[in-house]
Chains A and B, each alone.
Chain A
Amino acid sequence: DADVTQTPRNRITKTGKRIMLECSQTKGHDRMYWYRQDPGLGLRLIYYSFDVKDINKGEISDGYSVSRQAQAKFSLSLESAIPNQTALYFCATSGVRQGRTEAFFGQGTRLTVV
């Protein structure tokens, strides 16, 4: 089983719909991140969480919200999806307290908003 699991892997949704992307990890890491990847723009940070009660906005948080339900779960919501939110979304974890500074990534969620 993957250490960082994202669901769903693919999703097509309509403009204006609410959608949630879920991420769970079995690594016991304290930090979790949500990024979106667009061609030519690299990975841009949406939200990050250094602990269950610590949620921070990233570079492009507008139109998104997150919930850290437990140390192992970090969900990303699009309250009202729009076409320019079509992208590949990645969840990542890192365990700074565990001495693992590098991030471990899920396989990604390909989201299409029509």
Chain B
Amino acid sequence: AQSVTQLDSQVPVFEEAPVELRCNYSSSVSVYLFWYVQYPNQGLQLLLKYLSGSTLVKGINGFEAEFNKSQTSFHLRKPSVHISDTAEYFCAVIWNSGNTPLVFGKGTRLSVIA
């Protein structure tokens, strides 16, 4: 079965430090890739997506992610985090160019420390 693995369940980081949240997925067939953020007591909102083209994708709030087909990875990065980035982050994948449902990883809780 196709799966999405977020390698870190929790990531604590000091304010203004860089952060990388890791995401790997099974199978190297054609994929669409997404990162979502969930702030406390809220729904999910899209941070960024990769459908095709440039492997470096820029999203909202200064986040970016890089698609690496050979590594089947889509890691999320931010060069300098803020307290307001404290949230849960979910990686999600659609396989086969859209003919399958959206499958999520288990999430990474990012805690930014002042």
Contacts and interface: CB of A to CB of B under 8 A. Distances in A.
Interface stretch (A20-28, A73-81, A100-108): A100-108
Could you say which interface size class chain A belongs to? 20 to 34
Contact of B104 (A35, A96, A108): A35
Interface residues of B, number: 22
B87 interface: no
Given A56-B101, A101-B51, A42 B106 contact: yes
Contacts of B98: 96, 101
Interface in B37-51: 42-46, 49, 51
A107 B101 contact: no
Contacts of A94: 102
A67 to B, nearest CB: 18
A48 B43 contact: no
Nearest to B104: A43
Interface string B95-114: 00010011111110000000
Interface centre among A33, A43, A56, A90 (most CB of B within 10 A): A43
A101 to B, nearest CB: 5
A102 B103 contact: no
Contact of B90 (A42, A104, A108): A42
14 contacts: A33-B101, A40-B9, A42-B104, A43-B44, A43-B90, A44-B104, A48-B101, A56-B101, A92-B44, A92-B102, A96-B98, A102-B49, A106-B43, A107-B42
Given A48-B101, A96-B98, A104-B46, 13 more contacts: A35-B104, A42-B105, A42-B106, A43-B90, A45-B104, A56-B101, A92-B44, A101-B51, A101-B94, A102-B34, A103-B44, A103-B92, A103-B102
